[in-house]
Amino acid sequence: MNQDTSPSLPHLAANAVTVLERRYLKRDQAGKVLETPSDMFRRVAGAIADAEIIFDENADRASLSDEFYELMANLEFLPNSPTLMNAGRELGQLSACFVLPVGDSMEEIFDAVKFTALIHKSGGGTGFSFSRLRPANDVVKSTTGVSSGPISFMRVFDVATETIKQGGTRRGANMGILRVDHPDIMDFIMCKADRKQLNNFNISVGITGEFMEAVKKDENYNLINPRNGQEAGTLNARKVFSRIVNQAWDNGEPGIVFLDRLNRDNPTPHVGIIESTNPCGEQPLLPYESCNLGSVNLGKMVEKGGISWDRLKKVVHMAVHFLDNVVEANRYPLPEISRMTMGNRKIGLGVMGWADMLILLGIPYDSDEAVELAEVLMKFINDEGHEASRKLAKLRGAFPNFKGSLFEKRGDPPIRNATVTTIAPTGTISIIANASSGVEPLFAVSYVRQVMDDDILVEVNPIFDRIARAGGFYSQELMQKIAGQGTLKDIEEIPADIRRIFITSHDISPESHIRMQAAFQKYTDNAVSKTVNFANGATVEDVANVYELAWKLGCKGVTIYRDGSRDRQVLSKKAAPEEQIIRRDDEQQPVKRERPRVLKGWTYQMQTGCGPIYITINEDNRGIFELFTTMGKAGGCAASQSEAIGRMVSLAWRSGIQARQVIKQLQGISCHSPSGFGENKILSCADAVARAIQSHMTANGHGSVREKPAFIRGACPDCGGIVEHEGGCAVCRLCGYSECA
């Protein structure tokens, strides 16, 4: 274990120590922790400084190691998690994100599965474009059979990821992207509708500028078969866009990425085109490329009520030096990845603690002043980051693929790294730094954690804690009240000016979220990972407006999350008895509504592979009540199964289950004899019932009914704390649990 000769030791919050001990610090085979947080920073600093010998055999590695250590121990900059975990250790894999190609042959597909397993085993996450795969039911000449399509192969990747689990240190995570002009796009949009499959994937639709123009004009656009590049039909762009928006409203996916914008900023188009991103969407990469990320803690850049630009400049230059060394120190899981990464030497310097900086400066997150400062700040970081990379190029040479790059074509001086800046979701490293995550607003000012024996612990934002104590309005009762409400805006015990700056994600309009993302994107080489939070009662139209605004303002992608829209969410605050959504068998149960003698109803005809099915939906004065089915041909298995579905749906509705939950359970179930094509395809009688219910809800105005507003948050499966959604991932701020790498 290294001796700690530096005067600076990390001052870590209790949650930070918990996260480090559980997920980062070196252990022996019995699970005993072998290093302190200070030892970890020493280990990482030494390993990254050792790469200096490659460029200068007389380099003072000890002094550089001390500088890197100070940078991390002061929590001014932290690299991505694999670097903290693996630098100076046997594995030595330091990259967080990779993109792998998926070619249109069985050999290429299963090579990609194998490579995925190796990357996940080493602690990385992977992104894929499945757009090169021929569509389902397309011809396969070698076997005279038909293709099963991209979605079926995505399930293979999903199962492989589930199996590996990366030894429990970092969960495997994938991004799956399909171009909007792929013939299977409608099925792809719905592939996670039931939340029962592809749970190791985030999915995004690859949007083109041509498609967005067709949406604006309500025109059809062409589908292209990737097998031969020929047209394979048309779809109405506005209907496809509506399907994307509806599904995102329902459960947060798919996201969207604007492929033309990714490739507009592709620095090496002569090397390849960008088809996909890493799992959280902020890092567009070429096939077989990886990227090494790190983030500056902006909360540490505030001194005496203002930004310390000199300190920020120094930290940015040191961080770029650090990350370029990471490219050399890294042990890449595949030779193809090593060649591509070393050829472009992409790094991604981002930020965390943006919300903290705004609070310390007294600027509300959703103000024009905050958006203006975001542009000024990120331009400064981007400019200084590029200057640092150019200085390294003078000493070490430009990245090998510089010739033919956009830099050379513009006449720019040589630069060491093809990209320098990325805004990533900082997840667990922001917990280590005790900082707000990425460029997100505060998720909450105070958290409730339930521990053994039902004891309640209250976690309070450290800046608010200091201000509340200094202002004389701190109390445990107040902190518990804040945690229960999830927001300060209606708590009159707190001064109005304090409430205004401690604004949380659900106090902020979706439009303000997007404007902040666009402000950072303006001066970021790669992309910006940000979640646009919606209240539970937000409408589909609200989501559509944000997607269109993101396109208008120049974002490279959008991830949205409507509060409470994921099936696995449970309450993480004490709820009133009528709000409880999970009960034990011995607790109060829902009471089945009695059937009136007369009900009004509507009948819908749906075409299935077994013939037409007639679905009748009745309502009472409280809303949707029961469902009956009649097959065109009486008797038989299909008719009996459909009758059973109708009885169970009716029982569910009369017992208080929401219609949309029934739709989720039935939608997408397939049988041996589907009917129809594309958007009109009916997979089974159960799928037909789901479609009929969906049509009924839309036609009768139920789709936009606002549910009772409540601060429903996902609960961490490890500690029961609040789970925050950021960049397509879910992270617990209390223990560091993460749903993705």
Q: Are residues 494 and 616 in the same domain?
A: no
Phi, psi of 27 (to 5 degrees): -130, 160
**What is the secondary structure of 333-375 as a DSSP string?**
SSHHHHHHHHHH--EEEEEE-HHHHHHHHT--TTSHHHHHHHH
Using CA atoms, how far apart are residues 120 and 31, in angstroms rounded to an integer?
21
Amino acid 713: pLDDT: 40
Of the candidate ranges 220-224, 232-236, 523-527, 673-677, the one whose mean pLDDT is the lowest: 673-677
Helix (H) or strand (E) holding 456: strand 456-460
pLDDT, position 709: 30
Name which of 98-102, 164-168, 196-200, 314-318 the model is least confident about: 164-168
166 pLDDT more than 50: no
Tokens matching residue 184: 């299977």
Query: Which of 63-72, 430-439, 483-492, 523-532 shows the lowest mean pLDDT across its residues?
Result: 483-492
For residue 132, which of 258, 281, 271, 287 has the smallest C-alpha distance? 287
φ/ψ region of 543 (left if φ > 0, alpha if ψ in -120 to 50, else beta) reads alpha
Tell whether 478 and 613 lie within a shared domain. no
Is 60 exceeded by the pLDDT of residue 126? yes
Judge contact between 671 and 499, C-beta under 8 A: no
pLDDT reading at 609 higher than 70: yes
The gap between the terminal CA atoms of the chain, to the nearest Å, is 28
467 and 604 part of one domain: no
Of the residues 236, 261, 277, which one is the last residue of a structural domain? 277
**What's the pTM?**
0.79
| Residue 120, token pair as written in the block | 């996940």
Spatial contact of 676 and 682, defined as CB atoms under 8 Å apart: yes
Torsion, Cα of 118, 121, 124, 126 (10° steps):
50
- In whole angstroms, what is the distance from residue 73 CA to residue 625 CA? 61
Identify the CATH number of the domain in which residue 229 sits. 3.20.70.20
Q: How confident is the model at residue 407 (pLDDT cuts 50, 70, 90)?
A: very high
Contact 55, 293 (CB under 8 A): no
Mean per-residue pLDDT for 681-706?
77
Task: In whole angstroms, give the CA distance from residue 172 to residue 164.
Answer: 8
- pLDDT at site 456: 54
Q: Are residues 478 and 606 located together in one domain of the fold?
A: no
- pLDDT-derived band at 715 (thresholds 50, 70, 90) equals low
How high is the pLDDT of residue 611? 82
Q: Which residue type, as a one-letter code, is found at position 322?
A: F
Q: Which two tokens stand for residue 61?
A: 């590695």
Report the alpha-carbon distance of residue 237 to residue 723 in Å, rounded. 35
> 228 lies in which domain range?
97-277
Q: 94 CB contacts (<8 Å, ≥6 apart)?
A: 79, 80, 82, 83, 86, 87, 292, 326, 329, 330, 331
C-alpha distances out from residue 52 to 64, 104, 275, 329, Å: 9, 42, 34, 9
How many CB atoms sit inside 10 A of residue 675's CB? 19
Residue 74 lies in a domain: no
pLDDT > 70: percent of the chain: 87
What's the angle, vertex CA 371, arms to CA 365 and CA 374, rounded to 5?
Answer: 100
Q: What is the DSSP letter of 685?
A: H
Percent of the chain with pLDDT over 90: 63
Does 46 have pLDDT greater than 60? yes
Residue carrying the six token digits 């209907």:
239
Q: How many domains does the chain have?
A: 3
Computed over every residue of the chain, the mean pLDDT equals: 87
The dihedral of CA 162, 670, 602, 629: what is its sign? negative
The Cβ-side half-sphere exposure at 122, using a 13 Å CA radius, reads 26
Considering only 43-52, 381-390, 559-568, which range has the smallest mean pLDDT? 559-568
- Is 712 or 509 the better-scoring residue by pLDDT? 509
Among 358, 420, 418, 417, residue whose Cα is nearest residue 384:
420
DSSP letter assigned to residue 442: B
d(CA 405, CA 424): 25
91 found inside a domain = no
Q: What six digits make up the tokens of 474?
A: 């701190």
515 falls within a domain: no
Q: How confident is the model at residue 516 (pLDDT cuts 50, 70, 90)?
A: very high
Containing 284, the helix (H) or strand (E) segment is strand 284-285
Task: Categorize the per-residue pLDDT at 213 as very low, low, confident or very high, splitting at 50, 70 and 90.
Answer: very high
Kindly indicate the confidence band of residue 728, based on its pLDDT and cuts at 50, 70 and 90: low
Q: Given a cut of 70, is residue 636 above it in pLDDT?
A: no
Last residue of one domain, picked from the residues 235, 255, 277: 277
- Positions marked catalytic: 278, 280, 282
Q: What is the mean pLDDT of residues 413-430?
A: 95
Higher pLDDT, 529 or 631: 529
| Tokens (6 digits) for 254 | 């798919």
Q: What is the biggest distance separating any 2 CA atoms in the chain, rounded to whole angstroms?
A: 92
Chain centroid to CA 712: how far?
19
pLDDT of residue 705: 34
Match 């947080």 to its residue by tokens: 37
pLDDT of residue 740: 63
CA 106 vs. chain centroid, Å, equals 29
Half-sphere exposure of 695 (CA within 13 A, CB side): 15
User: Exposure pattern of 501-514 as b/e (b: 16+ CB <10 Å)?
Assistant: bbbbbbbbebebbb
Report the distance separating Cα 635 and Cα 602, nearest Å.
Answer: 23
The pLDDT of 437-454, averaged and rounded, is 75
Q: Is residue 471 part of a domain?
A: yes
Task: Give the Cβ contact number of residue 376 at 10 Å.
Answer: 12
DSSP one-letter string for 20-72: HHHHTS-B-TT--B---HHHHHHHHHHHHHHGGGGT-TT--HHHHHHHHHHHH
Tell me, what's the pLDDT at 633?
54
d(CA 276, CA 186): 19
- CA 212 to mean position of chain CA atoms: 23
Pairing of strands 255-258, 201-207: parallel
Has residue 144 got a pLDDT over 80? Answer: no
Question: pLDDT value at position 643?
Answer: 86
Q: Average of pLDDT values for 482-494?
A: 85
On the question of pLDDT at 714 being above 80, the answer is no
Q: Which amino acid is at 55?
A: F
**571: pLDDT strictly greater than 80:** no
Contact 719, 732 (CB under 8 A): yes
Is residue 108 situated within a structural domain? yes
- Is residue 80 situated within a structural domain? no
Last residue in a domain, options 503, 535, 551: 503
Q: Is the dihedral of CA 293, 299, 303, 306 positive or negative?
A: positive
Contact 527, 262 (CB under 8 A): yes
Give domain status of residue 213, yes or no: yes
- What is the residue whose two structure tokens read 């001052």? 11
Q: What is the pLDDT of residue 494?
A: 94
In a domain, 227, yes or no: yes
Question: Per-residue pLDDT for 721 more than 90?
Answer: no
